[in-house]
Copies of this chain bind each other. A is one copy, B any other.
Amino acid sequence: MRTGGFTDVLVIGAGLIGLVTAWRAAQRGLRVTIVAAETAGAASGVAAGMLTPATEAVFGEEPLMRFGALSRDRYPDFITELEDESGEPAGYRAEGTLQIAFDTDDLARLTELGELQTRLGVRAERLTSRECRKLEPMLAPSVRGGILAPDDRSVDPRMLMRALWAAADYRGVVGVRDRVSGLRVFAGRVRGARLESGGELTADQVVLAAGAWSSRIGGLPAGVVPPLRPVKGQLLRLRTPRGERPIVFRTVRGLVKGTPVYLVPRADGEIVLGATQEEMGHDTRLTAGGMWEVLRDAHALVPGVSELEIAETCVGLRPGSPDNEPLLGPTTLPGLHLATGHFRHGVLFTPATGDAMAQALAGEGLPDYARRFAATRRFEGNEGDQ
């Protein structure tokens, strides 16, 4: 731990986005320090890890869908390289995603989505209810039909974080476990950060990758960072009894009377159920209503969830920008970059964001595919979060 030292790049936040940025920047020869503290509600450790660029969540948001498809296409090489550098498994799974509909309205919405997916070149195969149940025998007989997206993947975000830490360490990234009390800004340029412990970190460039907390860092001049809304998600992790088959074999995303719900299986038999979507500010309480909603909708699609043990309940705060799109690269404050605003898509966007941020930090600007998400874009009425 080198506090008080000098570094080329200081990354604030050690979620997936902060870690991938640190690792990719270090691979380019930059000296990188990453600073973070345990934060209740940090999104990465809670996320289910679906890599499904075409879902109801981005319906009608084609730029996000394209960015997602690009990032998903980078995933296989990203995982290979990461596992190679880190020596750690990253929990990547390639079974595809089954999207299903509970009632006829849900099926209509899913059908539209399937057409959009096809138009965007995403493989999407329309299935009858019977075909869905042939793939996933535990589905409720009432499921109306679905879409198989065979190219969709999933990853275990907790394993991915461990692998990214190890790879970053291998590349000489220095980790500092502390909370940032404020940025150090003088002569019109960011120079580093002050720490709650009293220390300071000096850096040429600073990357704010603190998720839903990114616009609340002290010392930010007004208007530099657009306001980020925490969008609360409540999830459950269920445990499959030893020796029993999992209740789903691949990611199952469903629409239940318009509400999305998903079941994501892990190699160890864990099933992640999620998630609510609530705009409650920085509220990380697990609520009766949140648990009930997720359990109700998961039960409607796969009644067998009832038999499973609840291993964990968790709450994450997704970082939502004013237009729900990521905020990447340089800001109007020289030296300060953003890498946040990934909302529901942080895990999917991890490889593409890491590449884009490393390029920006190396002084080459954002790549074309990320330019739309430039942190300097203007929002209607955006006065920042100061």
Contacts and interface: CB of A to CB of B under 8 A. Distances in A.
Interface of A: 236, 238, 273, 285-292, 295-296, 298-299, 305-310, 313
Main SS class of interface, A = helix
A299 B289 CA distance: 8
A287 B313 CA distance: 12
Contact of A299 (B288, B305, B313): B288
Contacts of A307: 287-289
A290 B290 CA distance: 15
A288 B286 CA distance: 15
Contact of A285 (B289, B295, B299, B309): B309
A236 B308 contact: no
A288 B313 contact: no
Number of copies: 2
A290 B296 CA distance: 12
Nearest to A284: B309
Contacts of A288: 236, 238, 273, 295, 298-299, 305-310
Nearest to A286: B310
8 contacts: A238-B288, A285-B309, A287-B308, A287-B309, A288-B299, A288-B305, A291-B291, A292-B299
Contacts of A308: 287-288
B296 A310 contact: no
Contacts of A286: 309-310
A327 to B, nearest CB: 31
A310 B292 CA distance: 11
B310 A310 contact: no
A281 B101 CA distance: 37
Nearest to A303: B289
**Interface-central residue, A292, A298, A313, by most chain B CB under 10 Å:** A292
A302 to B, nearest CB: 10
**Interface-central residue, A285, A296, A308, by most chain B CB under 10 Å:** A285
A330 to B, nearest CB: 40
A292 B308 CA distance: 12
**Interface-central residue, A236, A238, A273, A310, by most chain B CB under 10 Å:** A310
Contacts of A238: 288
Contacts of A292: 292, 295-296, 299, 306
